[in-house]
Amino acid sequence: MNADFINPFLEAATLVYKDILGQELIRGRSSIKQNPAPGHDVAIVIHVKGDAQGDIIYSLNIDAVEKIVRTLIPGAGAETIAEEYRDVMGEIANMITGNAVNIFLSKKKHIDISVPYVVDTRIKTIDLNNRTTLSLRLYARIGLLEINIALAA
């Protein structure tokens, strides 16, 4: 896997967590998997085409998602969180994706990134192609962010 296609997604997530959520992301262990399937309750799925092709999957447990919603919607109760968490995570995904696109453009890389979509894996499964995947664990005070990167140049 080429760092030129991995680092922009890490940089973008780190930037959004810091600027929008006031959270530092600390890199934990990484591993190689055979499939980019998310390991947690809520997944953000992004398809990539261009100089690299494949999938990027961000996933978090529901506790971390609820903390993000409470950060962005202060005073949100359980009902509001249940109604809004997909929209909030979709906005976070759009910000991460937008930042990643800007990083790719600055490095003269041609990449097309799909509109991110949010899936609650407790309710729905995600069917993804087997592809060698770099799985990164990033830690913040609000919880773990897993990023599964399955890109081939």
pLDDT tens digits, 20-44: 999 999 999 999 999 999 999 999 9
Is the predicted pLDDT of residue 1 greater than 70, yes or no? Answer: no
Please give the single-letter amino acid code of residue 127. Answer: D
Q: Domains in the chain: how many in total?
A: 1
This prediction's pTM: 0.90
Residue 36 pLDDT: 95
At 107-127, the pLDDT tens digits run: 888 888 888 899 999 999 998
Output the CA–CA distances (angstroms, integers) from residue 90 to 36, 53, 106, in the order listed: 19, 22, 24
- Tokens 């990134």 correspond to 113
Q: Which segments of 76-142 are extended strands (E)?
A: 111-113, 117-120, 133-140
* Interatomic CA distance for residues 86 and 117, integer angstroms: 9
Residue 9 pLDDT: 87
Domain CATH for 104: 3.40.1550.10
Average pLDDT over residues 51-55: 91
At 55-81, the pLDDT tens digits run: 999 999 999 999 999 999 999 999 999
Domain encompassing residue 64: 3-152
